[in-house]
């Protein structure tokens, strides 16, 4: 279901039953709403940081599973775009705590990039946040399960830029952005908010832009805290090379994430919004599910949508991709960009399939003869010439008849020939 057809009843809907092979209806029936699945509080949570690492260690696998479809997936309806694109051939880099591939939802579509911070490689995810985001973006479809990523055919490049708690620093994020761009990622999903006014970070963002990569980041830190070092260092994205994403609650309700205080100017910039509160995905260490809330999760839905678009329109430039995501969003009824909602809620189906006004095909040119051809086209018709020739031919015929008569009739008279005589 796209945002245009969302029922207000979805505000209470978190998981919708979905039988294997059955498409989601445009609007859930009252019985479907009444049979909604488990509340998010019944799933273990994952956040941008793991503050209990010193006492409890890394995030462990979840024991909770479900065959139902998360509300965010029902809300966005990426499955309606899958006949056109599933993101195949597109690499999305997830810059965060790493991506654990043991759940198997990514199949062979996970590549391990560098770890810029902490021990081990980018396949180790002690926080669980990066794995969660990777699932939202590209988890494959599985029989009997309703959950799947927005772009289940896309590749994920894991680049670890945080420590085991989820903290990071600007130089680690900058190196991660450059590494992702060099590895050919067309979309770079930042799991952490960005500090403003840093020259090294701005240089890395411009570098990714020059490589044709679209960088997507949360508009503000998730409610649970900041993953950019000290909380005071986290600022809303201000660099024009970043697409800033805000979060929506179940059913498309207004964002619940707190904005920075007035003293912490500038105000958060939001370019697009997407589901981000009480969303469900996979985590490290197995096949169980977790829940999470915040703009970082909304940014993953936009990154998955970008992968769908590039899977269908691989020749788009970074600027064209950004324009398409914003132009096809479900716009709020305000002047654009709206201070809180930007250009509106991302729409995967429209982003993939819409034909924008500037993209109309030019008129078909008249066919031209092959280059070097010596064939001449047939002469155009000449009605006046044909009529003149016909008149001249008739006059000549009459003259011949008269001439013949002048010769034949006198001879007949001299021989006593009469018409009709035998």
Q: What is the pLDDT of residue 306?
A: 98
Q: What is the pLDDT of residue 62?
A: 92
DSSP string, 406-420: HHHHHHHHHTT--TT
Q: What is the pLDDT of residue 38?
A: 46
* Residue keyed to tokens 């940081």: 49
Q: What is the pLDDT of residue 21?
A: 32
Q: What is the pLDDT of residue 384?
A: 45
Q: What is the pLDDT of residue 266?
A: 63
Torsion-angle region of residue 118: left (phi > 0), alpha (psi -120 to 50) or beta? left
Q: Are 147 and 37 in contact (CB under 8 A)?
A: no
Q: What is the pLDDT of residue 290?
A: 95
pLDDT in tens, the chain (422 residues): 444 333 333 333 344 433 333 333 333 322 232 233 445 558 999 999 998 898 889 999 998 888 889 999 999 999 999 999 999 999 999 999 999 998 889 989 999 999 998 778 999 999 999 999 999 999 999 887 899 999 999 999 999 999 999 999 999 999 999 999 999 999 999 998 787 778 999 999 999 999 999 999 999 999 864 444 433 344 556 678 899 999 999 988 876 545 444 454 567 899 999 999 999 999 998 879 999 999 999 999 999 999 999 999 999 999 999 999 999 999 988 999 998 899 999 999 999 999 999 887 554 444 444 434 333 344 444 444 444 444 445 555 555 544 545 544 455 455 554 555 44
Q: Are 287 and 103 in contact (CB under 8 A)?
A: yes
Q: What is the pLDDT of residue 353?
A: 97
Q: What is the pLDDT of residue 256?
A: 54
């Amino acid at each position: 279901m796209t945002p245009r057809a969302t029922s207000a009843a979805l505000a209470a809907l978190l998981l919708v039953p979905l039988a294997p092979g059955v498409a989601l209806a445009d609007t859930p029936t009252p019985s479907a709403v009444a049979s909604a699945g488990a509340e998010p509080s019944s799933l273990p949570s994952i956040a941008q940081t793991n503050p209990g690492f010193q006492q409890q260690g890394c995030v462990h696998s979840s024991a909770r599973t479900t065959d139902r479809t998360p509300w965010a997936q029902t809300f966005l309806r990426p499955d309606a775009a899958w006949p056109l694109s599933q993101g195949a051939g597109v690499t999305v880099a997830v810059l965060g705590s790493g991506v654990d591939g043991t759940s198997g939802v990514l199949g062979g579509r996970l590549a391990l990039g560098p770890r810029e911070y902490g021990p081990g490689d980018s396949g180790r995810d002690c926080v669980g946040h990066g794995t969660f985001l990777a699932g939202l973006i590209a988890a494959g479809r599985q029989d009997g399960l309703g959950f799947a990523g927005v772009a289940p055919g896309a590749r994920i490049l894991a680049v670890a830029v945080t420590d085991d708690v989820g903290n990071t620093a600007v130089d680690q994020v900058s190196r991660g952005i450059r590494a992702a761009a060099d590895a050919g990622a067309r979309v770079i999903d930042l799991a952490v908010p960005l500090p403003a006014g840093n020259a090294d970070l701005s240089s890395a963002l411009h570098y990714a832009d020059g490589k044709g990569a679209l960088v997507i980041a949360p508009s503000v830190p998730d409610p649970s805290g900041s993953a950019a070092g000290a909380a005071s260092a986290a600022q809303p994205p201000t660099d024009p090379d970043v697409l800033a994403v805000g979060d929506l609650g179940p059913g498309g309700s207004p964002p619940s994430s707190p904005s920075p205080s007035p003293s912490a100017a500038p105000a958060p910039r939001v370019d697009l919004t997407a589901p981000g509160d009480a969303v469900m995905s996979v985590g490290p260490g197995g096949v169980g599910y977790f829940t999470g809330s915040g703009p970082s999760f909304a940014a993953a839905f936009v990154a998955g949508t970008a992968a769908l678009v590039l899977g269908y329109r691989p020749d788009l430039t970074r600027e064209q991709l950004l324009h398409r995501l914003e132009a096809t969003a479900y716009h709020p009824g305000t002047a654009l960009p709206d201070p809180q909602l930007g250009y509106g809620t991302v729409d995967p189906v429209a982003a993939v399939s819409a034909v924008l006004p500037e993209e109309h095909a030019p008129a078909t040119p008249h066919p031209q003869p092959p280059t070097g051809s010596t064939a001449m086209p047939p002469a155009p018709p000449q009605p006046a010439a044909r009529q003149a020739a016909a008149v001249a031919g008739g006059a000549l015929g009459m003259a011949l008849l008269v001439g013949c008569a002048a010769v034949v009739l006198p001879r007949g008279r001299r021989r006593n020939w009469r018409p009709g005589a035998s």
